[in-house]
Amino acid sequence: MNLFCTMCARGGSKGVAGKNGRDLLGKPLLAWSIAQARETGLFSTIAFSSDSDALLETAIRAGADLAVKRPDEMATDAAPKIPAIRHCLEQAMAHTGQTPDILVDLDVTSPLRLASDIVGAVDLLRTSGAPSVITGTPARRSPYFNLVEERKDGTVGLSKVADPPIVRRQDSPRCFDMNASIYVWRVARFLDEPAVFYPDTHLFEMPEERSVDIDSEVDFTLVELLLRRRQGLQGTSS
């Protein structure tokens, strides 16, 4: 099977200024994801999409195969990510003359994943027959038990009400927080119907310590701390 990997990162950021190219333990944030993709040995092409020439140059230096300039209309604060992923995929297909069987998109703001997580998510797609796989970590709150929604009148209630009501968290269905780390699609389905969720989408579970998505300065500090801890543990065991 032929697999492509895409990564999409804008030059601007509201929560953390310049985060995608910001130094994280000696290398740009985006370089961590490129290195993980390379480590898997899965991909014939790793394509990096951005509206920023500086980020595109950084990505090529970090080991990406292809730099894809993202159209301005796909790089606004309100622009959804799926069209940018599709644009990057189509540009990679045009550049290589190949149509991959599987597409994996990695979010560069989730550098705590391991190469084995990427391999595991792809294996789940293959073995399950699903059209897509997302990644997530067990949720701290359950919509059946202790996650509430605010109504228009200011009152609140459980996000999801079961019949009969669930009175113990242990009895509620397993729920997950999407960690925005890895997305896997069968390319034929994605091109025909670009979406994150299909009726038969599956989830690959990742632990909480590999599921931090950088959206604030606190997140960046936490990721740096966890990576230092991981490197320290690896150094101790070697």
Residue 9's nearest CA partner among 25, 26, 28 is 28
Same domain? 222 vs 188: yes
Same domain? 76 vs 109: yes
Q: At what angle do helices 53-62 and 29-40 cross, to 10 degrees?
A: 40
Same domain? 169 vs 120: no
Percentage above 70 pLDDT, the chain: 96
Number of domains composing the chain = 2
192: containing domain? 3-138+176-237
Examine the fold and report which residue of 150, 174, 198 is the final residue of a domain before the chain moves on.
174
Examine the fold and report which residue of 174, 196, 229 is the final residue of a domain before the chain moves on.
174
Residue 220: in which H helix or E strand, if any? helix 217-237
Same domain? 64 vs 152: no
Percentage above 90 pLDDT, the chain: 79
Residue 56: give its domain's CATH number. Answer: 3.90.550.10
**pLDDT grade, residue 146 (50/70/90)?**
confident
Please give the average per-residue pLDDT across 142-150, as a whole number. 90
Please report the DSSP string for 91-123 in residue order: HHHHHHT---SEEEEE-TT-TT--HHHHHHHHH
End-to-end CA distance of the chain: 35
Same domain? 32 vs 89: yes
Cα-trace Rg, the chain? 19
Please check whether residue 30 is in contact with residue 23, taking contact to mean a CB–CB distance below 8 angstroms.
no
Same domain? 12 vs 86: yes
**pTM beyond 0.85:** yes
Structure tokens at 24: 């994280």
Q: Which residues face 104 on adjacent strands?
A: 5, 184
* Side-chain-side CA neighbours of residue 62 (13 Å): 29
Same domain? 192 vs 82: yes
Examine the fold and report which residue of 174, 195, 229 is the final residue of a domain before the chain moves on.
174
Same domain? 186 vs 166: no
Residue 185's nearest CA partner among 73, 51, 81 is 81
Same domain? 95 vs 206: yes
Give residue-wise pLDDT tens across range 198-208.
999 999 999 99
